[in-house]
Amino acid sequence: MNASIALIPGDGIGPEVVAEARRVLAAVASIHGHDFAFTELLLGGAAIDAVGTPLPPETIAGARACHAVLLGAVGGPRWSDPTAPTRPEDGLLGIRRALGLFANVRPITTHWQLLDASPLRRDLVEDVDIVIYRELTGGIYFGGSTTSDDGSTVTDHMTYSVHEIERIVRLAAQAARDRRGHLTSVDKANVLAVSRLWRRTTDRIMTDEYPDVTHETQLVDAMAMHLLSRPRDFDVIVTGNMFGDILSDEASMLPGSLGLLPSASLGTDGPGLYEPIHGSAPDIAGTGTANPLGMILSAAMALRHSLALPDEAAAVERAVDRVLARGLRTADIAAGSPAVSTEQMGSAVANALT
């Protein structure tokens, strides 16, 4: 097939990991006889430096014109002055919103080859297979903020509408139906009015439309504990923007490194955006030590969800499994043994494709 893929390298280790995803996609294209055209777009700190804004209009237009968008990471200390008028992260939130990407899908699976890379006990993390559905274009991230005249009080608003809750819950429930049939909704309904709406809406959708999917509710603080004490009990987790952000970083300790985890951000139409859940890691940027597997597995999700190439997606996931089975480790998962570079890991995955 012919497909156009936008690449947004962004900041920090973003360009290094995106280069490896591109290498793997180019290898997929040549093995399977596809024609992938790549376009590079600016976002985040790199865009602030180049054109003075974190989300240039050309980036939105360029992304819309593609089948899928691959994004590295944005942000870094260079742009984190609290008095600056705009931040790299505004670009990321802006593109999620502009493309209508309300569903952020974050699979958390442990790789048998890496059970000792997790700081948690092997018997706890073995066979973990969870997908977090994080609402991505609402909640406290998008409610706006106000500052009192003298600057001494600042408010961030958390808002959810029934419509916003329904659409993410339906997607998550459908995913649960296609998997092990269990949905966990996470909120803070004992304190927040928004969470009580979230819970009421979720209960109604599940009872009326998904009676075959078992459904439980957890408060976010308890969930933070259950996720580490009994992770195998969870199948699909659905939650709002901020709780999903926090729980997914926590969940990355099950497989052992934030660097391993991919994500897909999906809307009702238009391109999906695929990014690892890690950040720009400015402390290791430019050292060639970043783990590209989260980005490469995000590219696999792009093949599956935006390009309708499930066999090619599975081929990339198998190639990742093979290089891990062969013992290749980047520094984050090496546990003290010799580590390979970002580029060596990316090339090994590309070469392991069949």
- What single-letter amino acid sits at 213? V
> Parallel, antiparallel, or unpaired for β 2-10 and 35-40?
parallel
Rounded to 5 degrees, φ, ψ at 237 are -115, 130
Site string for Mg ion, 189-228 (x = CB under 5 A): ----------------------------------------
- What single-letter amino acid sits at 19? A
Site string for ligand IPM, 260-299 (x = CB under 6 A): -----------------x-x--------------------
**Helices 162-178 and 193-209: crossing angle, nearest 10°?**
50
245 binds ligand IPM (CB under 6 A): yes
Task: Name the binder of 89 from ligand IPM, Mg ion, none, CB < 5-8 A by kind.
Answer: ligand IPM
3-class DSSP state for residue 150?
coil
**Phi-psi domain of 76 (left: phi exceeds 0; alpha: psi -120 through 50; beta: other):** left
Where helices occur in the chain by DSSP H, the ranges are 14-32, 45-51, 57-64, 88-98, 122-125, 162-178, 193-209, 220-229, 241-251, 293-305, 310-325, 342-351
Where helices occur in 81-152 by DSSP H, the ranges are 88-98, 122-125
Catalytic annotation present for 141: yes
275 binds Mg ion (CB under 5 A): no
Catalytic annotation present for 274: no
45 binds ligand IPM (CB under 6 A): no
- Of positions 89, 126, 166, 343, contacts ligand IPM by CB under 6 A: 89
CB nearer to Mg ion: pick between 77 and 310: 77
Catalytic annotation present for 245: yes
Task: Name the binder of 171 from ligand IPM, Mg ion, none, CB < 5-8 A by kind.
Answer: none
Query: Which residue has the CB atom at the shortest distance from ligand IPM?
Result: 89
**Helices 241-251 and 220-229: crossing angle, nearest 10°?**
20
The single residue of 156, 221, 233, 283 carrying the catalytic annotation is 221
170, 164 contact by CB (below 8 A): no
- Subset of 242-271 contacting Mg ion (CB under 5 A): 245
3-class DSSP state for residue 335?
coil
Catalytic annotation present for 221: yes
CB nearer to ligand IPM: pick between 43 and 315: 43
- What single-letter amino acid sits at 190? N
Catalytic annotation present for 210: no
Task: Name the binder of 92 from ligand IPM, Mg ion, none, CB < 5-8 A by kind.
Answer: ligand IPM
State the minimum distance, in angstroms, from the CB of residue 346 to ligand IPM. 21
The single residue of 11, 133, 188, 235 carrying the catalytic annotation is 188
Catalytic residues: 141, 188, 221, 245, 249
Binding site for ligand IPM (CB under 6 A): 75, 89, 92, 245, 277, 279
Binding positions for Mg ion, rule: CB under 5 A:
245
